[in-house]
Each structure stands twice: as structure tokens, then as C-alpha cells.
Structure 1
């Protein structure tokens, strides 16, 4: 029997409040829970969060797992040590789309770098070619004296 600590939605439409419950992982959250460990009201100002820390620690020590959202709440409140978990999961389709965008941006960046390097090399070659060609000095012709007839 795998136990999970998770949120159970309560409250009215567009005014949610949540219970922090412990139940079997396979069961629906609306099914009977083993124990209510606290409640959370995110819409009230200031947000209300009441937890039974000793009971939460007991269930975690017995082997219960916290959902990602509950884990983040417990880390924020200082009941658990560690980093927060990502609670939003990205679908494979979205991951593929993100990867293609990254690949395209890398290709564009690489192309612009290559173009900049090519322009730099061309400018250096033009400069070398200009230095290599001898510069002809303008010939100054001496003034011709007009012949007196």
C-alpha cells in the first residue's frame, strides 16, 4: 500500500480551499482519506496554511511520499529539507518543439558567426592585397617652355 500526502480540493466555485490529506496513491482524492494533516487557503489575504508538522513528519518517516506541490509547500514551511520539485510536467510533444527551436536558434547563431568571420577574413585579405600592390606615385611633368619662334 503506497501512501501519498496530497491536496484535496474543497470550497466553492472559483474560491478553492485545500485539505492536506494522506491516502492511498491509487485512490481518488475525494475518497476517504486516512488522516487530515492540515488545510491551505490560497485565495484568502494573507494566505492561510495550517499544518500538523508532527503528524506529517510521522507519515514521512513511515514511508509516505509527498506530491510535488505538497513537497514544495513543506520545503517552504521548513518541515522538509531540500530543493523544490517541478510540479508542472511538459509533454513530449512540447519538449520536441522546444528542442527544435533550440536547434534552429543554434544554427542561426552559428550561421551569423560564420558570416561575421567570413567578412572579417575578406576584409583582412583586401587589406593585404592593398598593401601588396605597389602604389604608383603620380608623375609630375616639368613645365615645358614655349618655343619662341
Structure 2
């Protein structure tokens, strides 16, 4: 007989409450089970002590007998240091841009950096002062004398 440690749903509609049970793998989700070893209430806050209640001694026993936990229950057991945490697979790279697109992006960044460096160098260099033009008032005074 293959044993599973899994969740059995209870509670009202839109108000779930789960029992952590040891059951035969062929029995239905909410059907017959061998032993109840804890509970999980997703409706309470994550730091609330009654969110996950687990009888660790019985969980150790059933794991030693050969019961396999479901994905969600294995997370709970890993949090209680009863089983090793499942490895998270590495994200695939199919969504990343191709090699040519990466090269074009790199060239654009290099061009921006070069333009910024040139602007900084231009701003840092002392600007040559152009000869000051005569003031318009002086021009008007000179024209008045000439007439």
C-alpha cells in the first residue's frame, strides 16, 4: 500500500481549512484517511501560530515508514526541518533576447556612455571667452554724435 501525506479540504465555501492526513494514495482527496497529523488554515495571517499545526513525532514516524509528502506538505515539513527543502529549478533562458539583440543593446549603451563622457569633458574644459560686443546704449550714443 502506497502512503501519502497530503491535505484534505474542509471548511465552508470560499473559507478553506485543511487537515494534514496520512492516506492511501488511491483514496479520494477528502475521503478515508489513516491518521490526522496536523492542520493548515490559510485564512489566518502567515505569522499566526495556528496557521500550521503539525504533530512532528507522528510525521517523523510516517516518513520513516515510507509515506511520501505532497508538494505543499513537503514545504511544511521542510519548515519544521523534517525533510530537506525541495530544490527550485533554474529559470529557463528562452524569454531572454537573442545574441544579436544583446550586441545591439551593448552598442547602444556604449554610444550613450561615449556621448556622456564627451559632454562631461566639454563641460570640464574652460570655455574660451568671445570678445564682448559693444552695448546697444554705446552704439546709440555714437550714432547721436555722428548726426
TM-score by length of 1: 0.60
Report the counterpart of residue 84 of structure 2 in structure 1.
82
Report the counterpart of residue 2 of structure 1 in structure 2.
2
Deviation for aligned residue 1:75: 1.4
CA change 1:71–1:116 in 2 (3 A) is closer
Structure 1 distance, partners of 2:74, 2:7, is 11
- 1:2-30 superposed Cα distances (whole Å, 9 cap, x missing partner): 11101111101121111001112232211
Report the counterpart of residue 68 of structure 2 in structure 1.
65
Decide whether the 8 Å contact of 1:72 with 1:85 is kept in 2.
no
Query: Considering only aligned residues, what root-mean-square deviation do their CA atoms show, in Å?
Result: 3.0
Q: Which runs of 5+ in 2 are unaligned?
A: 112-147
Deviation for aligned residue 1:47: 5.2
- 1:25-62 superposed Cα distances (whole Å, 9 cap, x missing partner): 23221120111111111213425122111111111000
Q: Does 1:101 align with 2:95?
A: yes
Deviation for aligned residue 1:68: 1.1
Trace 1:1-149 onto structure 2 (pairs within 5 A). Answer: 1-45=1-45, 46=48, 48=50, 49-78=52-81, 80-84=82-86, 100-102=94-96, 104=97, 106-113=99-106
Deviation for aligned residue 1:106: 4.6
Q: Which runs of 5+ in 1 are unaligned?
A: 87-94, 120-149
Structure 2 distance, partners of 1:85, 1:20, is 22
Decide whether the 8 Å contact of 1:68 with 1:85 is kept in 2.
no
TM-score by length of 2: 0.60
